[in-house]
Structure 1
């Protein structure tokens, strides 16, 4: 696999997105041979998104390695339960980025999550919210996730059964319609957002906003499946799945090249970002984060060298690397993967 990520604050005052990239050999416990990639789009603050990135690998390490799909689902639920603990306040404050408003509770702070868990040619997807995973299969975009929005019939039914309602209204910039749980959150599933999960009589799957992820399992095919693109909704509100796949695919370097993946993602975010806040009626102003995982034939040690460019200016967070064997190991990856 070759992998890269890029993040852009866009026109927002704060950056609330974050990402997770842990190739084979970096996870602990029964999951050492698995690679984990994810995008987390925070709202109400960056703290819960950063908490999920910090804690998800630790939670997975505690789970048995019998079924990756079950483990990833359980890990999401454990993360959500951890946010209810009184001791989490100090950690959330610690995770606040410099200059941002501290949060010591997940009551009004939450995050989407889309994760891709890979071993060999097996791939597990798990997600809550509207950050997406899209597979490029011989140039065609294949949706691997479906956004969790309040207006979907099955989501509306759960919300109303929990005593809530779905309110229709205009987007913040008036560029279209959107739907919100009890007039507030425009997602029907998320980590955190505990004010929507406070009914003690209801199970987690029955709350107004649920942390139960949708999961799926598939086998990627060498020579057919080219890459997986994970991205926050700042990208998807500006491009369709196919448009994003076409854009990235046209800019990727030749297979085996360790440079250029990051550049392609940077150009994708540049294309999505509006020139001014009013240019597209508010579209293209959100935080944007994209992670690319490209499937490649095994490469040699000489052509496989993870690296990180860290934080560049105010706009971009970039990282890329190539990883095809646990023998290339965590030591080499410490420069490429930094947990908050």
Structure 2
């Protein structure tokens, strides 16, 4: 759902940080959507009693507007911290009236169970708090947002557990949507779906209750964590994205750049949604490899030479557009191995740089050839998984 632009907005928002034994980078792009509805949070070292060794990362995928996603990106963490500290206080933590302590290092960390309960309570509290906002309460703004803060399962209306709750609240699941409209069954906001009399907040058509998982770390095996929105997952599977990120970390240690490559690749694979990704690297993350850098340079050199060859040969017909160039490269049997999970789409910037340098024609409206023929190109790139 949602309207699209004539050409994508490709400007990116980037950030990065390092601390607590972690490094992170993030990238977000509006893409083809008429509005940027994604938001994110990345905090290293929580300013709360005993939690300076904790970090928090989240991606919020908004729908029907950006209001809820934006507010949650700024305030969900404080609700979680307050709830976690309150629960921990029962175990002996001394907390000030503002929910924080001036000496956070001296206090013991809250138990994992307290934080787990705090996350659930924090979600429920911020959802109830936003309900008081006049624009959300009176229906002038009908926005909502999903939230991924670590490992999750998709909350789809057709899942048996979700369908049962929806039907118990008097709703139905049609075309895999709540009442034939909303594609997610749990979200923050979306108050049009949370007004069934006699039902609690977690029993409504759409529930704000998160599923919280505790995963035991395996330091020798754990490499990185990826949090992303549907604009990424629509065109890359878990396995494809992990393989692609791993291959990029072996040739570049700039996490912002790695995230930018993911976003660009997803755009060229045909994603029509907003795109956001947060990449958190653990101490055992892949390191830059001289061999991988060498292979990367060879692939780029090969692509540059092939495009130059295609565009420089004498011809009687019209100068080929970029779609034709991509199609010819896709059928090239001599192509060296491309980045796993990314394929030819991940090399579009290399290909386009040569194409633009040798193209004697200029688009009067400034629309890139690849975007001018977007429907054809999207269909093509979705078939390219070299």
TM-score (normalizing by structure 1): 0.65
Specify the alignment match of 1:232 in structure 2.
Answer: 229
1:74 matched to 2:94: no
Tell me whether 1:36 sits opposite 2:41 in the alignment. Answer: no
Q: 1:83 & 1:21 partners in 2: Cα distance?
A: 21
Which of the two has greater helix per residue?
A: 2
d(CA) in 1 for partners of 2:67, 2:32: 19
Q: 1:231: Cα distance to partner?
A: 0.3
Q: Does 1:284 align with 2:271?
A: yes
1:253 is displaced (CA, Å) by 4.7
Partner of residue 273 from structure 1, selected from 267, 271, 284: 267
Aligned partner (choices 35, 38, 47) of residue 17 of structure 1: 38
SS at match of 1:215: coil
Deviation per residue, 1:80-121 (Å, 9 max, x gap): 011111xx348x8xxxxxxxxxx98686210010114xxxxx
Name the counterpart of 2:242.
Answer: 245
The correspondence of residues 297-336 of structure 1 with structure 2, limited to 5 A, is none
Displacement after TM superposition at 1:223 (Å):
2.2
Q: Distance in 2 between matches of 1:104 and 1:59?
A: 24
Is the 8 Å Cα contact of residues 31 and 60 (structure 1) preserved in structure 2?
Answer: no
* Pairing 1:46-57 to 2, within 5 Å after superposition: 46-57=66-77
Structure-2 separation of matches of 1:104 and 1:11: 30
Give the match for residue 260 of structure 1. 254
In the alignment, the residues of structure 2 paired with residue 28 and residue 47 of structure 1 have an alpha-carbon distance, to the nearest angstrom, of 27
Q: How many residues align?
A: 237
Structure number having the greater strand percentage: 1
Which residue in the other structure is 2:179 paired with? Answer: 182
Question: What is the rounded CA distance, in whole Å, between the counterparts of 1:107 and 1:198 in structure 2?
Answer: 15
SS of 1:145's partner is coil
Match of 1:163 in 2: 170
Aligned residue in 2 for 1:278: none
CA RMSD of aligned residues (A): 2.2
> Residues 297 and 241 of structure 1: is their aligned pair in 2 closer, same or farther, counting only changes over 3 Å?
closer
**Contact kept in structure 2, 1:191 and 1:211, CA below 8 Å:** yes
User: Matched residues in 1 for 2:197 and 2:207: separation?
Assistant: 14
Task: Work out whether residues 163 and 173 of structure 2, in 8 Å CA contact, stay in contact via their aligned partners in 1.
Answer: yes
The structure that has the greater radius of gyration is 2
Residue 303 (structure 1) aligns with: none
TM-score by length of 2: 0.58
**2:211 corresponding residue in structure 1:** 214
Report the Cα offset of residue 61 of structure 1.
Answer: 3.2
Cα distance in 2 between the residues matched to 1:193 and 1:200: 16
For the residue of structure 2 that corresponds to 1:293, the secondary structure is strand
Residue matched to 1:129: none
Quick one: distance in 2 between partners of 1:239 and 1:221? 25
**Number of the residue aligned with 1:328:** none
Are the equivalent residues in 2 in contact too, given 1:27–1:34 (CA < 8 A)? Answer: no
Q: Runs of 5+ in structure 2 lacking a partner?
A: 1-21, 86-109, 286-386
Q: Distance in 1 between matches of 2:76 and 2:274?
A: 22
Uncovered stretches (5+) of structure 1, i.e. residues with no partner:
93-102, 117-143, 169-178, 276-282, 299-340
Asked if the contact 2:65/2:141 (under 8 Å) is kept, the reply is no
Secondary structure of 1:18 counterpart: strand
1:291–1:71 Cα change, 3 Å = same
